[in-house]
Structure 1
Amino acid sequence: MAILNKIAGFFINIFVMTWDFGLFILNILTPSLKPGHIVPAHAAGHNLTWPEYIPPKDSDSRSACPMLNAMANHGILPHDGKNITFKELNTKVRQSFNFAPSFCFFVPKFSADFLNRSYWSGRFDLAELSLHNAIEHDASLTRRDAALVTDQGKPDLDLVDQLLKEATGKMADGSLLLTIPDLSRALSKRRVDCRKTNQGYTENLFHNMFGSANSSTMLTIFGGRIDDLTPMLREERFPEKWEPRVLSRFGLTMAKFNFTVLPVERGVKTKVVKQ
């Protein structure tokens, strides 16, 4: 059975990558969506109106991902963060953030696999996604390492503020922007610091790439805009009148995303870091 699952997984991955590249090409060939019309009709957030934000209770389940937590805080996912289907996660993330359908299948399927559940029929609580060294990893930009804290479901506000202060880009109106070099510099500092402070620190290429990928959503989905990232990272709340900054008709594909992720990771320097 294990061998059959591996074979099936291999062919599923080939299909998803082919599907994703096809959507990447279609995004090039088709007109972009118009600002103000990114979130589809009948979905939460359509017409730039998000459901009411309600902070989580202590009994609610939350993950290490600010974006998923925000969806629960606004009731797009169950507010208690529990008993969510992987297929529901796929649909809601697609609608809320304009990720490509290939992307929105791949990540929940990966999550189902590391939790040893069926993507098609399984359910999960948000906190379960914080399984260490699956999607959650050391040297996060918004969380202390799992070895140092007991709850990965809450942001570390000191870390968030340090990240936001890295922004050097500016929009025409003077608003601050995070840039690729800013993100690389922030990741460099975190990895160096975590090696010093966490005796159980772990790092490999997979973890580093996942860290750069998680962080790069700030540059793609949020366009690096500090005004938008501040409520999302500090309160895990959608900004008022917000919508995804990705205008591609078929959403952000993994192929396109890598044009941001790879430069971010290449820019990480951990041997010598200026403090």
Structure 2
Amino acid sequence: MGGIIHNTAGVFIKLFVFQWDFALFLLNLVTPDHKEGEVVPKGAAGHHLSWPEYVPPKDGDSRSACPMLNAMANHGILPHDGKNITFVELNHKIRSTFNFAPSFCFFVPKFAADFLNRSYWKDRFDLEEISLHNAIEHDGSLTRQDAALVPDQGKPDLQLVHDLLAEATGKMKDGSPKLTIPDLSRALSKRRYDAKKSNKDYTESFFHNIFGSSNSSTMLTLFGGSINDLTPMLTEERFEEHWEPRIRSRFGLTMAKFNFTVLPVERGVNTKKVAKEREAEAAAQAETVSVQEAVTK
């Protein structure tokens, strides 16, 4: 009986959050945006583009598979040791730091609390705990090797990050490089293909693919795809000086609005195309070697 009540309550909460989120989406259409430089609210870390000092993690500090949460800890917005954090605190800090909509900020920590079998309202967690495999953390990440290969998900893989940033084909207004939706789809295609080849325990589902595209799409929404801003975030897990979220909507980035980026990114993923390209590259290399061998004989 208790399980039925719990499940019913969970369904009711989700329905309420989605309706709340859509209402905020509509309100954003008819209310003025925050002014540039005023996105982070007064009294919050990052207000007027002034972020707390960056301090890299030390031995014993807890970090997750999420660069943005780690950056919050590295700047002291969350506890620097990454431990003993309440889910409610996470909600509020994400809201003020990144200008996600309050519906979004409730949904994700609540989801994390649920998969850890904890109370969103009462319990606490360490950052590394939310890297539970196949919950928020998943195979085919653009910044981490798969957990089966590298169990510690608290640090970025710099080669993967370099490969991702090198995909940028767009340009910001100042002419600096920018990731686009097709760039991100292409990067995810390559990463998923390579992960399948290198990890015998690789797993994939529609849910994990959508979650992967969602995680990746924050690079396009919150960071505007700017390579200058993403480089310190993905390599050092710190905020670029004078950075602020690119989402200026009065009620923040809603899940409804976010899907306008996430779904095109996921639709553009094509691992079969990558497979054909890799096969063609391998055939060309083999032919080159064969010609070189023939010449030297």
TM-score using structure 1 length: 0.99
Aligned amino acid, residue 13 of structure 1: K
SS of 2:269's equivalent?
coil
Residues 103-145 of structure 1: per-residue CA shift (max 9 Å, x gap): 0000000000000000000100000000000000000000000
* Structure 2: gaps spanning 5 or more residues: 279-297
1:2 Cα deviation after fit: 1.4
Cα distance in 2, alignment partners of residues 99 and 156 from structure 1: 26
1:94 aligns with 2:95: yes
Aligned amino acid, residue 191 of structure 1: R
Cα distance in 2, alignment partners of residues 225 and 270 from structure 1: 25
1:172 Cα deviation after fit: 3.0
1:27 aligned partner? 28
Aligned amino acid, residue 52 of structure 1: E
Aligned amino acid, residue 43 of structure 1: A
Cα distance in 1, alignment partners of residues 81 and 150 from structure 2: 21
Q: For 1:102-117, what aligned pairs fall within 5 Å after superposition?
A: 102-117=103-118
Residues 225-251 of structure 1: per-residue CA shift (max 9 Å, x gap): 000000000000010001000010000
1:123 aligned partner? 124
Cα distance in 2, alignment partners of residues 159 and 58 from structure 1: 23
Aligned amino acid, residue 107 of structure 1: V
1:78 aligned partner? 79
1:40 aligned partner? 41
Residues 30-68 of structure 1: per-residue CA shift (max 9 Å, x gap): 011110000000000001000000000120000000000
2:157 aligned partner? 156
1:174 Cα deviation after fit: 1.3
SS of 2:76's equivalent?
coil
2:295 aligned partner? none
1:200 aligns with 2:193: no
Q: For 1:214-233, what aligned pairs fall within 5 Å after superposition?
A: 214-233=215-234
* Greater radius of gyration (CA): 2
Bigger shift: residues 33-42 or 165-174: 165-174
Higher helix proportion, which one? 2
1:150 Cα deviation after fit: 2.1
Identity %: 75
1:60 aligned partner? 61
* Structure 1: gaps spanning 5 or more residues: none
1:176 Cα deviation after fit: 0.5
Residues 74-129 of structure 1: per-residue CA shift (max 9 Å, x gap): 00000000000000000000000000000000000000000000000010000000
1:171 Cα deviation after fit: 1.9
Cα distance in 2, alignment partners of residues 171 and 46 from structure 1: 24
TM-score using structure 2 length: 0.92
1:162 Cα deviation after fit: 0.4
SS of 1:271's equivalent?
helix
Cα distance in 1, alignment partners of residues 120 and 221 from structure 2: 26
Cα distance in 2, alignment partners of residues 49 and 96 from structure 1: 11
Cα distance in 1, alignment partners of residues 87 and 121 from structure 2: 7
Cα distance in 2, alignment partners of residues 164 and 171 from structure 1: 14
Cα distance in 1, alignment partners of residues 264 and 70 from structure 2: 27
How many residue pairs get matched? Answer: 275
1:3 Cα deviation after fit: 1.3
- The list of structure 1 runs, each at least 4 consecutive aligned residues, that deviate by more than 2 angstroms after superposition, is none
SS of 1:272's equivalent?
helix
2:257 aligned partner? 256
